[in-house]
Structure 1
Amino acid sequence: MKKLILIFALSISASFSFAQTRKTKNLIIVTLDGMRWQEVFRGADSAMISSKYTEDKDEVRKKYWTASLEDRRKLLFPFLWNTIAKDGQIYGNRDLGNNEELSNPYRFSYPGYNEIFTGFPDVRMNTNDAIANPNTNVLEFLNKQKGFEGKVITFSSWERFPQILNTSRSGLPVYSGYANLKNSDANARLRYLNELQHHVPHYLGDSTRLDFITYEFSKEYIKQYKPRVTYIAFDETDDMAHAGNYKFYLDRARQEDGYIKNLWEMIQADPFYKNNTTLLITCDHGRGEVPIDQWRDHGANVKGAENTWFAILGPDTPPNGELKTPTIIYHKQLAQTISMLFGFNFKAAAGHEVGDAIKTVFK
Structure 2
Amino acid sequence: MDLLKQMAEKQLGQKVQLEPLVGDGSDRIICRLRVEGQTIIGIYHENLEENRDFLLFTKEMAAIGLPVPKILQVAEDEKRYLLEDLGPNNLAQQMDIWRDSGENSRFLNAYHEVLHWLPLMQVGMAHQLGVHLKNRVMDKNQLISDLIYFETNYIKLFGYESDYTDLVKEELYSQVIEPIAQLEGAFFVYRDFQARNFMWHQEKIYFIDYQSGMLGNKYYDLASMLYASRSGLSEKQRTLLLYHAFQKIGQGESKAQFEENFYLVLLLRRFRSLGSYGFLGQVKKKSGFLESIAPSLREMKGLFEKRAIQGRFPQTAAMIDQFIKKQS
Asked which structure has the greater RCO (Cα within 8 Å, sep 6+), the reply is 1
Name the structure with the higher helix share: 2
